[in-house]
Structure 1
Amino acid sequence: MINHDQLELQVIMSNAGLPEAGDAVLTFPEEIVADPQKYRAAVALPVGEGEIARAQAARARRDLAIEGYGQLLEGIVEHGRPALERFYTHAVDLVRPLIGDWQHIWEHNVQMEAEQTRAQLDALASGDRRHLSTATVIRGEPRPGPRLWGMCGRLQTWSGEV
């Protein structure tokens, strides 16, 4: 999706920020995706250069991903599945060094929530209702500071307070 006007989307994500930790590989042209240094340079946004520079870099990153997607699509049309498999190979090579960080995020956020849900489902299945007495109302507030640039646009994180 490309937004050229005032469209705003509110998306709630509960995956502990894995896209911002690099678990999504942008479809840059193959010469960039095939080279980890070029990919890191293309995906990075400038630090300390102000919002206008970061917004321009985010748009340039988006445009480069659209260009690469077009090339990938042409490759698939011309060569079939092997073109997509080549992209997958490059993507795995790019993200493999990040797996340890992702496992940490998973273990300390996502897995904990999944285990809690499983325990609650098990309790409900056996007729145990004790966990219901721990229910609370949580009010979310945006975290202070400027909104960050995430994978898909502006990122606003929220804190949940009882």
Structure 2
Amino acid sequence: MVSADGDRAGTPQGFGGLPGGVAVSHLRVYDWPADDGVCGGTPHLHLTCSEAYVVTGGRGAVQTLTTSGYEVTPLTPGTVARFTPGTVHRLVDEGGLRITVLMQNGGLPEAGDAVLTLPPAYLSDPRTYAAATVIPADAPEEERERIARVRRDLALTGYRALREADGPEPLAAFHRAAAALVRPRLAEWRERWRRGAAAASAATGEQLDRLERGDVSHLAEAAVRAEQPSEYGKYGMCGRLDVYRAQ
């Protein structure tokens, strides 16, 4: 599979990522209990990417918080749950929850298109935020798990404050803080989008133009690609991830 930064991805006809420029991963939701007695992952939102869960095993739920309020969506095998940018979400494990995750704009989520619901003091600048959230890839297994647990619990503190807030301003303030945190990376994100999801869409437009002219040459360039995950059991925000190369 050709990555978003590969040579062929720069032109619409050469886009070689997953259909629509999505990203895919396999998720085993954390079964770690929090201090509210609920097992699960780290609450966060995405700023530019919609997300979809295809539940493949176990059971659980996703708690969501938007300007429309708080909701709980049950998750059982066969459920497809999806939500748009700005949705604060917390995955809950009620017994072996397994999910295939589809992310819009492959490459952007991997480049940081997510902000955890940390208390406001941790959202003041990118360095402070990173110190509380980054899990060093070369750290021992025990240390990576410890950091993942600590940041999950810290994000739950901020999440509960947002849920219990009286009025919309605390959530709006979190939105503003999240946007400020990622602003230094927007030029990089735009380039990833251009080479990924935008290129995938442009490729369809080019193919429609060709068919309209009676040109079927792109059909002769058909190709089949397959790959295994590039990493297994990565500590993600919601659980342990089997991931594929970012597109």
Alpha-carbon separation, structure 2, partners of 1:153 and 1:123: 44
Structure with a larger share of its residues in helix: 1
Amino acid at match of 2:192: I
Alpha-carbon separation, structure 1, partners of 2:238 and 2:214: 42
The offset of 1:62, in angstroms, is: 2.0
Alpha-carbon separation, structure 1, partners of 2:171 and 2:108: 23
**Residues 157, 122 of structure 1: alpha-carbon distance in 2 compared, 3 angstrom cutoff:** farther
The offset of 1:84, in angstroms, is: 1.9
Deviations 1:136-159 (A, max 9, x none): 22222222x555334433343336
Structure-1 residue corresponding to 2:44: none
Alpha-carbon separation, structure 1, partners of 2:126 and 2:217: 50
The offset of 1:60, in angstroms, is: 2.1
Q: Is the 8 A contact 1:28 1:66 kept in 2?
A: yes
Q: 2:138 aligns with which of 20, 41, 48?
A: 48
Structure-2 residue corresponding to 1:104: 191
Deviations 1:11-50 (A, max 9, x none): 2445223223111111111221234332111111134221
Residues 151-162 of structure 1: matches in 2 within 5 Å?
151-158=237-244
Alpha-carbon separation, structure 2, partners of 1:83 and 1:96: 20
Q: Which one has more relative contact order, counting CA pairs under 8 Å at least 6 apart?
A: 2
Residues 1-162 of structure 1: matches in 2 within 5 Å?
1-3=91-93, 5-13=95-103, 15-75=105-165, 78=166, 80-124=167-211, 128-143=215-230, 147-158=233-244
**Residues 3, 125 of structure 1: alpha-carbon distance in 2 compared, 3 angstrom cutoff:** farther
Structure with a larger share of its residues in strand: 2
- Work out which of the two has the higher radius of gyration on C-alpha atoms and give 1 or 2: 1
TM-score, scaled to structure 1: 0.77
Q: Is the 8 A contact 2:111 2:189 kept in 1?
A: yes
**Residues 19, 12 of structure 1: alpha-carbon distance in 2 compared, 3 angstrom cutoff:** same
**Residues 148, 81 of structure 1: alpha-carbon distance in 2 compared, 3 angstrom cutoff:** same
Q: Is the 8 A contact 1:46 1:57 kept in 2?
A: no
Deviations 1:60-117 (A, max 9, x none): 2222222211111222xx1x22222211111111111111221232223232222112
Q: Secondary structure in 2 aligned to 1:2?
A: strand
Q: Is the 8 A contact 2:124 2:177 kept in 1?
A: yes
Structure-1 residue corresponding to 2:62: none
Alpha-carbon separation, structure 2, partners of 1:146 and 1:128: 43
RMSD: 2.6
Alpha-carbon separation, structure 2, partners of 1:61 and 1:23: 17
Q: Secondary structure in 2 aligned to 1:139?
A: coil
Q: Is the 8 A contact 2:233 2:241 kept in 1?
A: yes
Q: Is the 8 A contact 2:103 2:109 kept in 1?
A: no
Fraction of identical pairs, as percent: 41
Amino acid at match of 1:131: H
